[in-house]
Structure 1
Amino acid sequence: MFVHNIDEEVSLKLVERSDAERIFELTDRSRSGLREWLPWLDFTITIDDTKNFIAHALGDFALGKSLNCAIVYKGKLVGIAGFNEINQAKKTAYIGYWLDENYQGKGIMTRVAAALTDYALTEQGLNKVEIRAAIGNEKSRAIPKRLGYIEEGTIRQGEWLYDHLVDSVVYGMLQSEWASSDRK
């Protein structure tokens, strides 16, 4: 199983079927806040939906297409982060993340995104990592900015959120930029 220790407080582990109850609990508890920016909340209404997500994530991981991890903070699962997609042909990975509202503001997600970036660009030999966030999602957009990602542009009406389209800002980090950065 994939486990990546980030520091003494935070680690990532591949999602497992046994995580379904906790992931669903976090999703349900943070539903209103997450729903503002993530398009899948209305499709995650039972624990079986979470179990299906985990099964799909594990299948894609086995094929090398993605890596969805549980964020573990001080021994407790507190969110999800990973590569929504890994495109080996383009040598690019796309980071996605969400964190239970009770654990926001502790620097957890910045540490997680840095570790994922480093893993992709140094250990996996990819050339680029992208993070995309809705233009109004300032908390999510702050993470790639803190890590020195370059704002590459805006995808107009790039994502459907329940009843409206939102613009998405694309941030990118190249392997050569990460290697020379002091943010690792």
Structure 2
Amino acid sequence: MTDSGTLAVAPQLALRTLQEADAEALFACIERNRVYLREWLPWLDSNIQVADSRRFISSAQNNRATGEAEVFAVSWHGELVGTCSLDAMDRASGTANIGYWLSEAHTGQGLMTRCAQRLLRFGFTERALGTVTLNVAEGNLKSIAIAQRLGFQCTRKVIQAEDLYGVSVNHLRYTLNDSDFMDAMPHDPGH
């Protein structure tokens, strides 16, 4: 990672640490994509104004300082178009969860696959993680495809894992360990 908190992914594509100055851009991206994101993300009703995005960024910065998370803005041609994060990081056990979302206009181009791959490489090499999990709603085929492209293996189905706006949703838990990732990902997985 550079001193500026940026992970280069590809030309014009980067992961950069969220800063307080990103609050308006983050909220605007969420607002433009609210209907699209609502299909799989349960937190939209708690992010209804810029102040909510500002609180999220403050929490992300605190979690980064304590080593509990690494939350990045996805920057495409300088525009914030989503987030990608390692959450629930436990340095003692070498585990974390990965999470991400991307604006609808930027899906289908392989951007999130490349960003998630870069974040995994960062987690495994620079944060000494041994295992990363991804919990995906059972019907979220786009996220499942990303997991599979990156070499994650489905290890468990969690029944009624989440309430998604009044609907009980099952999750599939995907797991990836560092050696499998390094063996499988010597190149850009593309899209």
Asked if these proteins are the same fold (TM beyond 0.5), I'd say yes
The answer to whether the aligner puts 1:115 opposite 2:118 as a matched pair is: yes
Query: How many pairs are equivalent?
Result: 184
TM-score normalised by structure 2 residue count: 0.92
Tell me, yes or no, if the aligned pair for 1:3 and 1:13 is still in contact at 8 Å. yes
Give me the whole-angstrom Cα distance separating, in 2, the residues matched to 1:183 and 1:23: 32
Equivalent position SS for 1:34: helix
The answer to whether the aligner puts 1:177 opposite 2:168 as a matched pair is: no
Cα offset, 1:183, TM superposition? 5.1
Tell me, yes or no, if the aligned pair for 1:148 and 1:183 is still in contact at 8 Å. no
Partner of 2:93: 90
Give me the whole-angstrom Cα distance separating, in 2, the residues matched to 1:24 and 1:56: 15
TM-score normalised by structure 1 residue count: 0.96
Equivalent position SS for 2:10: coil
Aligned with residue 31 of structure 1, among 25, 29, 34: 34
Superposition misfits of 4+ residues, deviation over 3 angstroms: none
Change (3 A) 1:182 1:4: closer
Percent identity among equivalent residues?
A: 35
The answer to whether the aligner puts 1:154 opposite 2:157 as a matched pair is: yes
Tell me, yes or no, if the aligned pair for 1:70 and 1:81 is still in contact at 8 Å. yes
Tell me, yes or no, if the aligned pair for 2:47 and 2:53 is still in contact at 8 Å. yes
Matches for 1:37-116 after TM superposition, within 5 Å: 37-116=40-119
Give me the whole-angstrom Cα distance separating, in 1, the residues matched to 2:171 and 2:12: 31
Identify the range of structure 1 (138-147 vs 83-92) with the bigger mean alpha-carbon deviation: 83-92
Aligned with residue 132 of structure 1, among 130, 135, 152: 135
Give me the whole-angstrom Cα distance separating, in 2, the residues matched to 1:2 and 1:165: 37
**Structure 2 gap segments, 5+ residues each:** none
RMSD of the alignment, in Å?
1.2
Equivalent position SS for 2:139: coil
Identify the range of structure 1 (76-85 vs 64-73) with the bigger mean alpha-carbon deviation: 76-85
**Structure 1 gap segments, 5+ residues each:** none
